[in-house]
Structure 1
Amino acid sequence: MGEVILTEDTFGKVTDGKGKNRTVRRFTWQNKNKFSVQVIDYGGYITSIKVPDKDGNIKDITIGFDTVEKYLQPYNRYFGATIGRVANRIRKAKMIVEGVTYNLANNNGPHHLHGGKIGFDKVFWEACIQGTRLILSYHSADMEENYPGDLIANVIFELTKDNEFRIDYKAVTTKPCPVNFTNHSYFNLAGNGAGAQELYKHNVCINADKITEVDGGIPTGNLLPVQNTVFDLRVPKELGQIINKVPNSPGFDNNFCITKGIEQGNTFVASVYHPTSGRLMEVYSNQPGVQFYTSNFLPEDDTVMGKDGYIKKHGGFCLETQKYPDSVNNENFPNTIVYPGEQYHHSVVFKFSLK
C-alpha cells in the first residue's frame, strides 16, 4: 500500500439540472499520518478534513453536513464548495467586458455573489482519478448565468504524504470572460462542532500589508494599509481579542492583499494555530488576495444542524484565496479577464501540522 490512498464510495443522490436522478460520488484520501480528506462530485465540495491533534485524537475540522440533501438546502452557506465562475461579489450585478455590458443575477441584495443562482457549487462535475489525484471537470456553456463564452474548468485535488492538500484550478474560454475560482471551506481547528468559544482561541496570521476598502461589503476601489488597524495580522493575533473590533461589521469579511515576494509560484498567505489541540494550518497560493471570513452571518440560534452539532455564528473561519472582489469593475485591481488562447491557473495548498 502506498503512502496515500484514494478510494471512492457514494454520498446519496441528487436530481441534476436535466431532471435526472444522479448518484453523488465521494472520494476519500487517507495517508499514513491518519490524515484524511473527502470531496464530492456535486458542487466540488470538500465535505471533510480529519486531522489528529497533539494527543492523537482525530477530529473533522471543516463545517458541513453528513448528507447530500442538506447541501441542497438554503441554509447551506457554500460550506466547502468550489466557487465559480467568479468568486465573491460583483457590484450591482453588472460588468463590462470588452465594451459589452452583462447583467448578472443579483443574488446578494443588489449584488452578484459566487457565480450566481446556479454557480459551480450547484452543478455536477465529471470526475476522473489519476493515481492519487482527483480531477473534476465542468463545461459551463456560453451565457450560463449570463457569463460569456464556453468555459472548460478543471479542478485538481491531491493529498500528499506530508499532510498538504493541494488544489489547482485551470480553465479556458472561447470568449473574454472574468474567471476567479476559490474554495469556500469553513475551518475550526478545534473540531467542526467546537463553536465560537474555541474559534476565539485561534491565532491568525495573514501576510498582507493592505486590504480592499469596502462600502456595504463591496470594494470601493481603494486599498487601505493595515498598519495600526485591527487588520494588521502580519504578526499572529488571538481571534477573540480582535473579532469584535472590526469597524462596522460583526467580524472579519475582508479581502487581504497578499504581500508577494519576488519568487514565482506560491507565496505564504496565512497561518492559523489552535493552541489547545496543537493543530496548525498554513495556506500558500499564487493568488494576490484572500478573503478572511469569520462566519458572521451564520445563525445565532439552534436552527442548522451540522455534522457534529449546530452550525452557528463565529463557528468557523474561511481563507478563500482569489483575486480581489469586483476586480472586473476596478481597473486598478488584478486582472480577472481570461481571453481565448489563455489558461487560467489558480494554485492553493493547505498544509497541516502540529506544534
Structure 2
Amino acid sequence: MKITKEQFGTYQNGPVYLYKIENKHKTQLNVLSYAATWQDFKVVENGITHSLISHFDNLDDYIKTPYQVGKTVGRVAGRIGHASFKLDDKNYHLPANDGSNLIHGGDNGFQSVNFSGSVIKDEVILSHKFLSADDNFPGDLELKITYSLSEENEVKISYTATSTAKTLFNPTCHVYFNVTDNEDVFGQDVKINSNSILEVDSNKVPTGKILPVTKGYEFKEFKTIAKALDDLKSDNGKLEFDDTFVTDGNSVATIKSNKRAVDFSSDRNGLVIFTANPNDPKKADKREYNSLAMEMQTLPDAINHVGFGNIVLPANESVTYTNSYKYRQIN
C-alpha cells in the first residue's frame, strides 16, 4: 500500500492536506483533512482511470458548496426536529440552521473544521476535539475518523468518539456516487435492501412513522435511476429522491453500471439517498442529476422517535461505527 501527503490549500490560516492511498490495483482513495472529506475514489480498468464519486479539484469549491460534497457531517447527520432533544430529563435547544430545525449538527459541525491528520500503517487517521461551547451539544467530543483501502478494493470509514458528558453521535460521509461512464446518473442501477422508508413532513423532518415502500421507493431488485424517478413521479408526483430507507443487516445496497459496481455495508440502520448535481446547481434545478448521495447512518432524528435506533453516547465511553464501500469490476 502506498500513501502520499500533499498540501491542498489553506483553511482558517492552517494547511489543508490531501492524503492519497493507493493499492496494488492502482485503486486510489483520496482524503482531505478539511471536513475529513472523501475527495476521490479512482479505479483503473484496462488502463483507463475512472472516478466513482463527485469531487472538486480545489479547496474553495469544497468550502463554498452547500451540498457537503464528500464531507463528514455530524455530530448528528440529517435533521433534528425543532433543533431540540431531551437527555436525562433535560431539554437541549440548539441554534437552528435549517428553518426551525437543525441539520448535520449545526453550522459548527464536523463539516466545518480542518482535522489533524496522521498516517498509521496503511490508514489515514483524522482527529479533532469538538467543544460543547462550540456547537452547543452536551460534552466535549474527541473524534477520530479512520480511512482505509484494502487490496480487495474496499474503502472503510470508521468513526470513533468519546465525550465528557452524555451526548448524541450519528455521523456519516456525505458522498455522491456515479459509477457510469456518463455525465448524468440516470443509467446507474440501484438496489437497496429495504422494505420501508421514513415518513417526513414538509420540512423533511421525520414524523416518527415508518412506511412500507410503494412503487416509487421499491429497490429490492435493480432499477435504473431513470426508471426509479419515473416510478416516483407516477407514485406521488415527486421529481427527486431525498429519502431515508430503513435497512436491516450489514448488506445495505449496491449501485452498478454494466462495467462496475459498489457494494455498501454498515453497522447502522439507515440509508439516505439524494439525487443531485453538486457540480452544477443550475442543472440540479432542471433535474439534470449527475450523482446519487448514499449516506449510511442511524435513522435521522432518532433521539426524538422510539424505535429509530440509539445515537446516545454515554459519558466517558467510546463507540465506533463503520461504513464500507467495496468496488468490483464487472466483466
TM-score (norm 1): 0.87
Structure 1: gaps (5+ residues): 16-20, 261-266, 305-310
Q: Distance in 2 between matches of 1:300 and 1:12?
A: 24
Whether 1:268 aligns to 2:267 is no
SS in 2 for 1:195: coil
Q: How far does residue 342 in structure 1 lie from its aligned partner after superposition?
A: 2.7
| One-letter amino acid of the structure 2 residue matched with residue 112 of structure 1 | L
| Structure 1 residue 203 corresponds to structure 2 residue 189 | yes
Which residue does 1:307 correspond to in 2? none
Instruction: State, as a whole percentage, how many aligned pairs show the same letter.
Output: 27
Task: Find the aligned partners of 2:133 and 2:39 in 1 and give their Cα distance.
Answer: 29
- Equivalent in 282, 291, 315 of residue 301 of structure 1: 282
Separation (CA, whole Å) in 2 of partners of 1:303 and 1:272: 21
- 1:22 corresponds to which residue? 14
**How many angstroms does 1:63 deviate by?**
1.2
1:125 aligns with 2:143: no
The answer to whether the 8 Å contact 1:300/1:313 transfers is no
Match of residue 263 from structure 1 = none
Alpha-carbon displacement from aligned partner over 1:59-116 (angstroms, at most 9, x marks no partner) = 222212111122121x341000011100001112111222222222322222111111
Amino acid at match of 1:328: I
The reply to whether residue 188 of structure 1 matches residue 178 of structure 2 is yes
Quote the residue 2:292 is aligned against: 317
Structure 2 CA distance for partners of 1:336 and 1:252, relative to 1, 3 Å = same
Check if 1:173 corresponds to 2:148: no
- Gaps of at least 5 residues in structure 2 are none
Secondary structure at the aligned position of 1:320 is classed as: strand
Deviation at 1:300, TM superposition (A): 5.2
1:280 equivalent to 2:261? Answer: yes
Could you report, residue by residue, the CA deviation over 1:305-340 in whole angstroms, capped at 9, with x for unpaired residues? xxxxxx984211111110011111112210111111
| Structure 2 residue 133 is the aligned partner of structure 1 residue 152 | no
Classify 1:299/1:28 alpha carbon distance in 2 versus 1 (closer, same or farther; 3 Å). Answer: closer
2:322 counterpart of 1:335: no
Alpha carbons of 1:232 and 1:303: their partners in 2 closer, same or farther (altered >3 Å)?
Answer: closer
- Is the CA contact (8 Å cut-off) linking 2:128 and 2:142 kept in structure 1? yes
Matched, 1:348 2:329: no
Alignment length, in residue pairs? 326
Structure 1 position 88 matched with structure 2 position 74: no
1:57 to 23, 48, 58: 48
Aligned alpha-carbon RMSD (Å)? 2.1
Aligned residues of 1:127 and 1:134 also touching (Cα < 8 A): yes
Distance 1:338 1:248, change over 3 A: farther
| Corresponding residue SS for 1:205 | strand
- Corresponding residue for residue 308 of structure 1: none
TM-score using structure 2 length: 0.93
- Is residue 301 of structure 2 the alignment partner of residue 326 of structure 1? yes
Is 1:137 equivalent to 2:148 in the alignment?
no
Instruction: For residues 271-302 of structure 1, give each alpha carbon's deviation from its aligned partner in whole angstroms, at most 9, with x where no partner exists.
Output: 00112xx0101001111111111117885536
Alignment of 1:43-54 (within 5 A): 43-53=35-45
Q: Give the secondary-structure state (helix, strand or coil) at the position aligned to 1:13.
A: strand
